[in-house]
Structure 1
Amino acid sequence: MPYAPAEGARLWYEEAGTGHPILFIHEFGADHREWEDQMRFFSREYRCIAYSARGYPPSDVPTDPKLYGQDYAVADAVAVLRHLGIPKAHIVGLSMGGFATLLFGIRHPEMATALVPAGAGSGSPRQEQAGFRANCTTLGNRLIAQGWAGELAEETGNSPTRIQLKKKDPRGWTAYMARLSEHSGLGTGLTMKHFQGERQSIFDWEADLRRMQVPTLLAVGDEDWPCIETNIWLKTVLPNCGLWMQPRTGHAINLEEPAAFNRAVAEFFSTVERGRWSLDAQG
């Protein structure tokens, strides 16, 4: 199996296609498999790479809580690219992966040709932070103690921002739930406590975001309530970004509406690659 070495963990990855690279970074409630529709679509013209984060088998599951957090999430994305000899790539992430995508753009803009942070921002508004962090600690402890079997998976799959997938695509929701049940309770529990629960608010990055010039497409569903406020704010501060909102869609936007998501992202990449994304473009 292919692994990329990172600090404190080996990261399992898969790739398909040739061309300009795209790196996909998954959300908390998923793994590399959530990007299958995108891997199939984009690998026709791009070199596509998806990997499982630390704590998500077949990647390693470190037992040391200090080996989890937002810094590792960004460093792991860099580690995968460097292992594959890729100097620059489009970066696409959902939720937890969308948070990492934004931070990647701040810390490594020279490695990013375009960014697609989708469904990013849960817990970032100031008034939500304390409650969000407390909930992350509680859920993380439950996952470590119980794993995903039974009620925790059902609570997640039927939550207000995920029930849309069940209503639109029952077969896809069943497949999502099957994958969810296979996750490591320890790995996801430590991720929830020490990445999700201890990460900064996106609002803390305002000065850095205002300076970031990487072409960016923000993607969010209009029923992904915990993320809408943050994405509207991001649109006001990022100097080179667009905001795409998909109607009647919750959190897992790439699973709920794969055709619309793929089309919007493909059009964005095409515009960037033709040098026409910036509104300052001349000619």
Structure 2
Amino acid sequence: MPNFKSHDGVELYYEESGSGSPIVFVHEFAGDYRTWEPQMRYFSRGFRCITFSARGYPPSEIPDDPEKYGQDIARADVIALMDHLDIQIAHLVGHSMGAYTALHVGIHHPQRCLSIAATGCGWGSNPAEHDSSVKLCEDIARMFNEEPIDVAAEKYAHFAMRLTFKAKDPRGFAEFKTWLREHSGTGSALTMLNLQLKRPTLWEMEAGLRSLTVPLLVIVGDEDLPCVDGSLFLKRTVPDSALFVVPRAGHTITSEEPAAVNAALAELFQAAGAGTWKLRRASA
């Protein structure tokens, strides 16, 4: 299996397919390298596509040290992956937890980014919901740490923001649950407590986001209520951002509505690659 050691020696699993301009996909809390299969199959026809499992997610290594998890560490893992594959610059596509990480890469390493897509981004960021978000993070971590993974996965899969996926695509939702049950309870709990709970909110990232120079596409489903405010905040804050709202779509948007997401991403990649992203905004 293709593995590499990250900056601190933790081994991460990755897959790649296709050739051309690189795209690095960064998954959400409930995802792993397989989450991006609808995008890998579509874009590997004309791009070099890379997907990986974050630390704490099989088949990547699952450290039991809380200090091995965090937002800065997740950002460094993406850069380490790109360095390992000798990729100097790439399109970054992140979903939820992975979208936060992609934004951090764009802020700290803009020279490594052709473009950034932040899908389903914003959970836990709204200042008005801070206390309830902290408690929810602690409850989720406790659930994954104390209950059998089958039970925790079943509960987490049925959070309200994922139920549109279940309603529209029961077969896809069943696959999502199967993959979630194969995760590590320990890795999930440590990720929730040390990355999700402790990461800066979008509002706390405002200064960095206002100076972001990388083309940014924000994608959110209108039924993904915990992420709508954050997505609107990104649109208002990042100077050269675009916002795409997918109707009747929830949080698991890259799997729930792959055709709409892929079409929007294709337009981003084309405009960013051709250097016309800013021109399109000016002409509008």
Shorter-chain TM band: over 0.9
d(CA) in 2 for partners of 1:170, 1:240? 37
1:222-261 superposed matches below 5 A: 222-261=222-261
CA positional deviation for 1:88: 0.3
CA positional deviation for 1:8: 4.2
Cα root mean square deviation, aligned: 1.2
CA positional deviation for 1:144: 1.6
d(CA) in 1 for partners of 2:222, 2:94? 18
State the TM-score, normalizing by the size of structure 1. Answer: 0.97
Residues 231-270 of structure 1: per-residue CA shift (max 9 Å, x gap): 1111111011100010000001111011111111001111
- The residue type equivalent to 2:118 in the other structure is P
State the TM-score, normalizing by the size of structure 2. Answer: 0.96
CA positional deviation for 1:206: 1.0
1:1-283 superposed matches below 5 A: 1-6=1-6, 7-150=8-151, 152-279=152-279
Check the 8 A contact 1:223/1:250 in 2, yes or no: yes
Q: Which runs of 5+ in 2 are unaligned?
A: none
Residues 51-94 of structure 1: per-residue CA shift (max 9 Å, x gap): 00000011000010011011111001111000000000000010
CA positional deviation for 1:4: 1.9
Structure 1 consecutive aligned stretches of length 4 or more whose deviation exceeds 6 Å: none
Check the 8 A contact 1:141/1:189 in 2, yes or no: yes
- The residue type equivalent to 2:79 in the other structure is V
d(CA) in 2 for partners of 1:268, 1:13? 24
d(CA) in 1 for partners of 2:214, 2:89? 12
- The residue type equivalent to 2:87 in the other structure is I
d(CA) in 1 for partners of 2:193, 2:177? 22
d(CA) in 2 for partners of 1:64, 1:252? 29
Check the 8 A contact 1:134/1:197 in 2, yes or no: no
Percent identity over paired residues:
44
Count of aligned residue pairs for this structure pair: 281
SS of equivalent residue, structure 2 residue 13: strand
